[in-house]
Amino acid sequence: MSQAQMKFSDLDALYSPDAKVATSMYEDPDLFKEEMQRIFHNTWVWVAHQSEVPEKGSFKLSTVGQDPVIVVRDRKDQIHVMVNRCRHRAATVCEVKKGKTSSFQCPYHGWGYALDGSLRALPYPEQYGDDFDKESHGLRKLRTESYGGMIFATFNEDIEPLADFLGPVKKWIDLFMKQGGGFPVKVLGEHQFSVPMNWKVQLENTTDAYHFPVVHKSFLQSLDGQTNEIFQFLETGKGCVEDLGNGHSVMVMIPELVDLDENLDDPIPDRFEELAQELRDEGYPDDQVRKIVRAVGGAGFNLNLFPNVSFSLSFFRVLTPISVDKTDIRHIALGMEGGPAAANRMRLRLHEHFQGPMGFGSPDDAEVWERVQRGTQGGEELKILVNRGIVDETPGEAGPIGHISAETGMRAAYSMWKRMMSV
């Protein structure tokens, strides 16, 4: 047992059975290193949506924990995820965030790799002797699987298939993708920012309805009366949080918007009336107008996948752990592939309204995340509480179901954290 392993053998002290989290969980650099190995190198990690690599030769850069990776679609339409590290002396072979290419060539000494990562050519190969084995010097490939257009990769060759890892989550991914409004969901764009916080502060946040009326007061004030009412989910208490197993959870905020294909005859909300008219004028039949308009508003739930991605209302939030107290966040805006331009435009405006860098939502979130990290500088012996709502949970299919403001989703994530850290 290494020193670090010994130090973390008492996992109950870090996350106790009564749902209290030790301060060092956000602060200990040795613990962070262990997490990168035991969690991020051992499980399925989300890397991209299929619309980001739409054609043969399309690629994008992503990460699996701290490892930079390239997600690429090869000539046979197969998607590969490979570590962005030349097999010669480790330079990244690609620094372009996304694009199209026929191969990757390392800028240092010119080793060239095919789209499937195999080493194709290197300058002056004779200096390596006759028995140099090109086949064993391809880019390091990760196991890659997809569900519902979501591409995941893992360093763990022995892990269960992705579909089993997701389990009951699959149903929720299917529901979330209905916001294509009959068109395939497509990534419209993204922005990235860094927050001085531990990655688990973020892991907690997208399953946290309790903060909404407090942190997002400005957002609520910026809404029209009708929309504001829809977002009073803490008041109405109609929603819930469900542990979906393997650290995943869903937080249902607006039950009427769980299945976007239901109740399409309901009146169109005022804020979408102008869009609806524009679509009618473009010749879309009434039933399709209703479906598209409903989809534009996004789903009424947040789906949180352990360890790094959330599907929230109408966008993806992806976290990349950088160091024990620094996390990069990407907000990925979603739209409709081949859908009406007016609908995609409105999706972007709604995205900017909450998630954008000048939006009414995410900048306020980022402020409190930072304050959590700063607050943990004091009172080392005090615990962080994620026990809210533990008193009235009911059993669900894969785990407990709690009140909309319960910290059930955080407990799901921390239970998985503990399971993975103990292996």
Query: Which residues of the shown chain bind ligand FES in the complex (CB under 6 A)?
Result: 86, 88-89, 91, 106, 108-111
* Shortest Cβ 100–ligand FES spacing (Å): 22
Q: What is the dihedral of CA 251, 252, 254, 259, to 10 degrees?
A: 130
Tokens of 107: 């800028």
89/171 with CB nearer ligand FES: 89
* Shortest Cβ 82–ligand FES spacing (Å): 14
122/342 with CB nearer ligand FES: 122
Residue 89 binds: one of ligand FES, Fe ion, none (C-beta under 5 to 8 A by kind) = ligand FES
In whole angstroms, give the CA distance from residue 297 to residue 207.
Answer: 19
43/310 with CB nearer Fe ion: 310
204 binds Fe ion (CB under 5 A): no
* Shortest Cβ 202–ligand FES spacing (Å): 34
Calculate helix-pair angle for 286-296, 341-354, nearest 10 degrees.
20
Residue 365 binds: one of ligand FES, Fe ion, none (C-beta under 5 to 8 A by kind) = Fe ion
CB-CB contact of 147 with 153 (8 Å) = no
In whole angstroms, give the CA distance from residue 71 to residue 60.
Answer: 5
* Shortest Cβ 87–ligand FES spacing (Å): 7
* Shortest Cβ 101–ligand FES spacing (Å): 16
Choose the stretch contacting Fe ion; rule: CB under 5 A; options: 128-136, 227-235, 346-354, 357-365: 357-365
Site size for Fe ion, by CB under 5 A?
Answer: 1
Instruction: Decide: residue 352, CB within 10 A, 0-12 exposed, 13-18 middle, 19+ buried.
Output: middle
In whole angstroms, give the CA distance from residue 174 to residue 324.
Answer: 34
Residue 88 binds: one of ligand FES, Fe ion, none (C-beta under 5 to 8 A by kind) = ligand FES
C-beta atoms surrounding 280 within 10 Å = 13
87/351 with CB nearer ligand FES: 87
Among 28, 365, 393, 407, binds Fe ion (CB under 5 A): 365
In whole angstroms, give the CA distance from residue 77 to residue 97.
Answer: 20
In whole angstroms, give the CA distance from residue 200 to residue 313.
Answer: 21
Residue 137 binds: one of ligand FES, Fe ion, none (C-beta under 5 to 8 A by kind) = none
* Shortest Cβ 333–ligand FES spacing (Å): 35
Residue 303 binds: one of Fe ion, ligand FES, none (C-beta under 5 to 8 A by kind) = none
Residue 106 binds: one of Fe ion, ligand FES, none (C-beta under 5 to 8 A by kind) = ligand FES
Residue 111 binds: one of ligand FES, Fe ion, none (C-beta under 5 to 8 A by kind) = ligand FES
* Shortest Cβ 123–ligand FES spacing (Å): 8
* Shortest Cβ 408–Fe ion spacing (Å): 17
243/365 with CB nearer Fe ion: 365
* Shortest Cβ 112–ligand FES spacing (Å): 9
Phi–psi pair at 34, nearest 5 degrees: -65, -40
In whole angstroms, give the CA distance from residue 80 to residue 60.
Answer: 11
143/211 with CB nearer Fe ion: 211
CA-atom Rg of the chain in angstroms: 23
85/331 with CB nearer ligand FES: 85
Task: Give the type of residue at 364.
Answer: D
Q: How far from each other are the two terminal CA atoms of the chain, in whole angstroms? A: 12
Q: How far is CA 250 from CA 244, 343, 399, in A?
A: 7, 26, 11
152/219 with CB nearer Fe ion: 219
105/387 with CB nearer ligand FES: 105
Instruction: Decide: residue 19, CB within 10 A, 0-12 exposed, 13-18 middle, 19+ buried.
Output: buried
90/214 with CB nearer ligand FES: 90
Tell me which residue of 165, 156, 239, 219 sits closest to 416, measured CA to CA.
Answer: 165
Instruction: Decide: residue 10, CB within 10 A, 0-12 exposed, 13-18 middle, 19+ buried.
Output: exposed
Which residue, chain included where needed, has tokens 């950088």?
Answer: 322
Residue 109 binds: one of Fe ion, ligand FES, none (C-beta under 5 to 8 A by kind) = ligand FES
Which residue, chain included where needed, has tokens 């993708």?
Answer: 177
Calculate helix-pair angle for 341-354, 273-281, nearest 10 degrees.
160
Choose the stretch contacting Fe ion; rule: CB under 5 A; options: 50-58, 228-236, 267-275, 359-367: 359-367
C-beta atoms surrounding 341 within 10 Å = 11
* Shortest Cβ 118–ligand FES spacing (Å): 15
Tokens of 66: 């701290």
Using CB under 5 A, list all residues that contact Fe ion: 365
